[in-house]
Amino acid sequence: MSAGTVEQSRDLVATLARATSRATEALCSLQRTDGHWCGELEGDSILQSEYLLMKWILSQERAPMADGRDGALVLAKITKTLRSQQRPDGGWGQYPGSTPCLSSTVKGYLALKLAGDSADAPHMRRARACVLALGGAEWCNSFTNFYLAALGQIPWSAVPAIPPELVYLPKWSFFHLSKVSAWSRTMILPLAIVSVLRPTRRLDASQAIDELFVSSAARARLSSRKDGSRLWRSAFGCIDRALKLVQPLVARTSWRERAITDAFSWIMARASQEHPVPTDGLGAIFPPMVYVQVVMHALGIERDDPRVKVAERDLDAFFLEDAESIRIQPCFSPVWDTGIALYALNDCGLDARDAAAARAASWLVQKECTFQGDWADNCPQGTPGGGWFFEYRNGWYPDCDDTAMVAMALMRTGGAAAQAAARRGIAWLLAMQNDDGGWAAFDRTKSRPLLECVPFADHNAMQDPSCPDITGRVLECLAWHGMRVGDETVDRAVAYIQEQQEPEGCFFGRWGVNYIYGTWQSVIGPIRCGVAPESEWIQRAGSWLKSIQQDSGAFGESAESYLDPALKGQGTATASQSAWAAMTLQEIYGEHDTAVERALAWLAQTQLDEVAARDVARNPDGDPAGSWCEREFTGTGFPKVFYLRYHLYRLYFPLMALGRFIHARQKGAGDSVVTRTPVAGCMNAS
What is the rounded CA–CA span in Å between residue 453 and residue 59? Answer: 34
Write out the catalytic residue numbers. 401
What is the rounded CA–CA span in Å between residue 252 and residue 318? Answer: 37
Q: What is the mean pLDDT of each successive set of 10 residues along the chain, which is 686 residues long?
A: 68 94 97 97 97 98 94 97 96 93 97 97 97 95 94 93 92 89 92 94 95 89 64 72 80 90 94 78 95 96 95 96 96 98 98 97 97 93 94 96 98 97 97 97 88 71 91 98 97 98 97 97 98 98 98 97 95 98 98 97 96 90 95 95 96 98 82 42 42
Q: Do the domain assignments include residue 501?
A: no
Q: Taking the mean position of all CA atoms in its chain, how far away is CA 137?
A: 27
The parent domain of residue 111 ranges over 46-208+220-328
Instruction: Specify the pLDDT at position 682.
Output: 52
Q: Per-residue pLDDT tens for 536-553? A: 999 999 999 999 999 999
What is the rounded CA–CA span in Å between residue 393 and residue 374? Answer: 15
Provide the domain count of the chain. 1
Q: Do the domain assignments include residue 284?
A: yes
Q: Do the domain assignments include residue 94?
A: yes
Q: Do the domain assignments include residue 402?
A: no
| Residue 530, phi then psi, degrees to nearest 5 | 115, 0
Four-point Cα dihedral 659, 662, 665, 666, nearest 10: -100
What is the rounded CA–CA span in Å between residue 277 and residue 269? Answer: 9
What are the angstrom distances between the C-alpha of 29 and each of 144, 356, 359, 531, 684? 41, 10, 14, 38, 5
Q: Which amino acid is at 406?
A: V
3-state secondary structure 217-237: HHHCCCCCCCCCCHHHHHHHH
Strand partners, 327: 320
What is the rounded CA–CA span in Å between residue 395 and residue 371? Answer: 6
Using left for φ > 0, alpha for ψ between -120 and 50, and beta otherwise, residue 437 falls in: left
**Using an 8 Å Cβ cutoff, are 561 and 567 in contact?**
yes
Q: Do the domain assignments include residue 480?
A: no
DSSP 508-560: --SSBSSHHHHHHHHHHHHHHTT--TTSHHHHHHHHHHHHH--TTS-----GG
Instruction: Specify the pLDDT at position 229.
Output: 61
Q: Do the domain assignments include residue 455?
A: no
DSSP 128-174: HHHHHHTT-GGG--HHHHHHHHHTTSS-GGGS----GGGGG--TTST
Q: What is the CATH number of the domain that holds 300?
A: 1.50.10.20
Q: Per-residue pLDDT tens for 578-619? A: 999 999 999 999 999 999 999 999 999 999 999 999 989 899
What is the rounded CA–CA span in Å between residue 128 and residue 213? Answer: 10
Q: Do the domain assignments include residue 121?
A: yes
Instruction: Specify the pLDDT at position 664.
Output: 94
Q: Per-residue pLDDT tens for 16-74? A: 999 999 999 999 999 999 999 999 999 999 999 999 999 999 999 999 999 999 999 99
Instruction: Specify the pLDDT at position 673.
Output: 41
Using left for φ > 0, alpha for ψ between -120 and 50, and beta otherwise, residue 509 falls in: beta
Crossing angle between the packed helical segments 102-114 and 46-57, to the nearest 10 degrees: 50
Q: Do the domain assignments include residue 118?
A: yes
The stretches of 332-415 forming alpha helices (DSSP H) are 334-347, 355-366, 400-413
What is the rounded CA–CA span in Å between residue 58 and residue 200? Answer: 9
What is the rounded CA–CA span in Å between residue 113 and residue 234? Answer: 36
